[in-house]
Chain A
Amino acid sequence: MDDLNIMIVGVGGQGTLLASRLLGKVAQKQGYDVKVSEIHGMSQRGGSVVTYVKMGRKVYSPIIEKGEADFLLAFEKLEALRWIDYLKKDGTVVLNDQEIDPMPVITGSTMYPEGIIEKLAEAGAHVRSIDALGIARECGNIKAVNMVLIGLLAGTSSISKDIWLESLKEAVPQKFLDVNVRAFNAGYMVR
């Protein structure tokens, strides 16, 4: 198989870590070597967070470098913009169309950039954008944003749906399984 690099970006607290763990399981189930790099601690507190998932025949560095990501799984629009340099030429941005104002915007020292999705597309990125927050809310829990996005990514990938669902069941606690499966399916159905 070709190497597959997925970069997950978002705001601390949005559930990016769980998404990366699930992706790690998906890789493992297919028999790939895999590395997942997470950041814990201070930057998690509402800051810009990034996790890397790399799979392939042999993975050395756990870090995805600029221009190396096949997918940029962005939990927030501004974060997609911030990390776009990491996307490969012809790579795909899977995007939650949500805005979370960072503190410099809240305090009025700068503005939230406008037209991010359009500009990403104009620059040549493939952008799959959805209202993951709204869909998660309909599914019964706004915290399931991560599973909506994973579902959308799964629908874009060539990996069988069974592997995704199996990994999901292992990654999330039993009592939240139903809502997470609903959210995954909702994302998966988006075309």
Chain B
Amino acid sequence: MKELLLGNEAVARGAYEAGVRVATAYPGTPSTEITENIAKYDEIYSEWSPNEKVALEVAIGASVAGARSICSMKHVGLNVAADPLFTASYTGVNGGLVIMVADDPGMHSSQNEQDSRFYARASLVPMLEPSDSQECKDYVKTAFEISEKFDCPVIVRLTTRVAHSRSLVELEGRNDIELKPYTKDPSKYVMMPAMARGRHLAVEKRMAELRSYAETTPLNRIEWGSREIGVITSGISYQYAREALGDVSYLKLGMVYPLPEGLIREFVSKVDKLYVIEELEPFLENQVKKMGIKVTGKELLPVTGEYSATLLREKLRGIKFEKVYDIDLQSPARPPVMCPGCPHRGTFHVLKKLKLTVTGDIGCYTLAALPPAQSMDTCVCMGASIGMAHGMEKARGREFGKKTVAVLGDSTFIHSGITGLIDIVYNKGCSTVIILDNSITGMTGHQHNPTTGFTIKGEPTKQVDLEMLAKAVGIERVRIADPFDIKNFEKVVKEEVEADEPSVIIAQRPCALLKQVRYEGPQRINENCRKCRSCMRIGCPAIVDKGDAIEINSALCVGCKLCSNICAFNAIEKAGDNNG
């Protein structure tokens, strides 16, 4: 029986079939659905961890304790988890340990376009890269075998188009692998200099063995076609190449680190013209070149953005796409926007009005950098808003600090904002931090986190109290305010930025997409409207300027009433009952 699965769902299925017992993750597009789907299996303990570093540490602990374990994250998450990764490479494993990392070429939902393959080389850990959902499942299972056979963590790398494409997958049963016995072994698991020196030697020996394994594993395969052109490729690029170049010869690498030098030389010797086709960095290409092999890759193909069959046809075969439909109309851009009813809209309306410098962070609220709000100044990485606000104040002085706030979400604050907050207190900063507490991890599609009071499986658990947490690290001024109560929220922000001590404002209102949030439904604009357009300034996609009138789109409006709070003329009221 075949099922049509997302790459991420197939990874989850692979983990289940491989007998995984522990799965950890911090959500991040395009990796989130892996662990969301693992959570559906009762046989596997799964968790949302506070961040990727903790997630990997939990998985390493589970592995050392004898369980097959999997830890999943997006590419930038691997930066957070890099510290345990590099040393887990030295300790090796007991139960198999697989790290899933999902890169995002083209940056559909990311702040950079980093190529995580370099982590495999830097940490001396093998890396596999599937091309479709069936391979996602198969490779995860093979990764566990490699992990246990060679005593190392294994990274499986996805890219967005593999993670978020569905294709057919043959399902199999679960291999109920027993826990391996746990025995104390400080020479392997306590990485202090004397022991680590020994382990580094073991790692180098393992890499040599893995290079031999790469030569014969079915993960790497040659598909012979016309020998005029040979293509070395992997992952989604293989699919684009197949489509663009058809029946030429392919060396499809399922294992992208370490590379099979012998197999590559054999392939190269039998083709006339050699291409390496890979998105992002010339990771394969440079290694092939280092073998002294002449190859064409990045001199024709870009290191930025996603590839496509069209791009390969154009760059490698000189075939250009010709327009079929000639239409003389421009399409205005449609950038993503905060949803109707979004609680962040109130917050940024106030921050814009007060003309504050806003150090921002990663989440739906990053959209506040775009028009019409345009009230976010920076966005670097998870938690950076707080450290950056502190840095700005230290660089430019207290007066500048009084016009600066850090803004980040509840989940982001727990992920890595809390350490920044401690820094402000410890180093005598006076910054104001606004935690946008919308009761959920929003951008990645509603995952629980330590502040929501529920686990990944929806079970009730202890809830981190943000107010008490802030006070515990030494913030004496902690305020809770509703961002839709615009007048009060503005007053609170003004007071806190003025205060000569650090402060935290918890902007509390749940995400409008949460099921338990029930607003009264579409509003309409009545005859009291003076067309002052102040409601337009909140940038709600449901409010439309029709030139001679302002209208509310009843198909979009949820009835959050932020606009009615702002309207000075009582011109916005509930629309009649017509189901929307």
In the bound complex, do residue A87 and residue B324 qualify as a contact, i.e. CB atoms below 8 Å apart? yes
Minimum CB–CB distance for B284 against chain A, Å: 19
**What is the chain B residue whose CB lies nearest that of A145?**
B555
**What is the chain A residue whose CB lies nearest that of B325?**
A123
The residues of A that contact B99 with a CB separation of less than 8 Å are: none
**What is the chain B residue whose CB lies nearest that of A111?**
B332
Identify which of A25, A45, A105, A142 contacts B4 (C-beta below 8 A). A25
In the bound complex, do residue B168 and residue A33 qualify as a contact, i.e. CB atoms below 8 Å apart? yes
Q: What size tier do the contact residues of chain A reach?
A: 35 or more
**What is the chain A residue whose CB lies nearest that of B4?**
A24
The residues of A that contact B322 with a CB separation of less than 8 Å are: 67
Identify which of A62, A84, A102, A108 contacts B334 (C-beta below 8 A). A102
A-B contact count (CB 8 A): 200
A48 on interface, CB distance cutoff 8 Å? yes
The residues of A that contact B240 with a CB separation of less than 8 Å are: 60-61, 63
B65 on interface, CB distance cutoff 8 Å? no
Given contacts A12-B336, A61-B239, A67-B321, contact A37 B161 (CB under 8 A): yes
Q: How far is the CA of A106 from the CA of B334 in the complex (A)?
A: 11
B335 on interface, CB distance cutoff 8 Å? yes
B82 on interface, CB distance cutoff 8 Å? no
Identify which of A25, A60, A104, A140 contacts B333 (C-beta below 8 A). A104
Mask for A91-123, Cβ within 8 A of B = 1, else 0?
A: 000000010111111111111110110011011
B443 on interface, CB distance cutoff 8 Å? yes
Identify which of B236, B372, B445, B556 contacts A100 (C-beta below 8 A). B556
Q: Could you say which of B112-120, B465-473, B499-507, B539-547 contacts chain A? A: B539-547
Identify which of B30, B165, B579 contacts A137 (C-beta below 8 A). B579
A165 on interface, CB distance cutoff 8 Å? no
Q: How far is the CA of A103 from the CA of B240 in the complex (A)?
A: 34
In the bound complex, do residue A24 and residue B332 qualify as a contact, i.e. CB atoms below 8 Å apart? no
Within 8 A of A (CB), among B88-146: 108-109, 132
Q: Could you say which of A75-83, A146-154, A155-163, A181-189 contacts chain B? A: A75-83
* Residue with the greatest number of chain A CB neighbours at <10 A, chosen from B32, B329, B367: B329
In the bound complex, do residue B4 and residue A38 qualify as a contact, i.e. CB atoms below 8 Å apart? no
In the bound complex, do residue A46 and residue B336 qualify as a contact, i.e. CB atoms below 8 Å apart? yes
In the bound complex, do residue A110 and residue B332 qualify as a contact, i.e. CB atoms below 8 Å apart? yes
The residues of A that contact B573 with a CB separation of less than 8 Å are: none
In the bound complex, do residue B370 and residue A103 qualify as a contact, i.e. CB atoms below 8 Å apart? yes
Within 8 A of A (CB), among B533-580: 536, 539, 541, 543-545, 553, 555-556, 578-580
In the bound complex, do residue A46 and residue B579 qualify as a contact, i.e. CB atoms below 8 Å apart? no
A85 on interface, CB distance cutoff 8 Å? yes
B308 on interface, CB distance cutoff 8 Å? yes
The residues of A that contact B338 with a CB separation of less than 8 Å are: 45-46
- A residues neighboring B (CB under 8 Å): 11-13, 21, 24-25, 28, 33-48, 59-63, 65-67, 78-79, 81-82, 84-85, 87-89, 98, 100-113, 115-116, 119-120, 122-125, 133, 137, 140-142
Name 10 interchain pairs, CB-CB below 8 A, sorted by A.
A36-B165, A37-B166, A38-B165, A39-B160, A66-B310, A67-B322, A102-B335, A103-B334, A104-B332, A113-B329
Instruction: A42-B443, A63-B240, A116-B329 are known; give 6 further A-B pairs, CB within 8 A.
Output: A24-B166, A36-B166, A39-B108, A87-B325, A110-B330, A140-B579
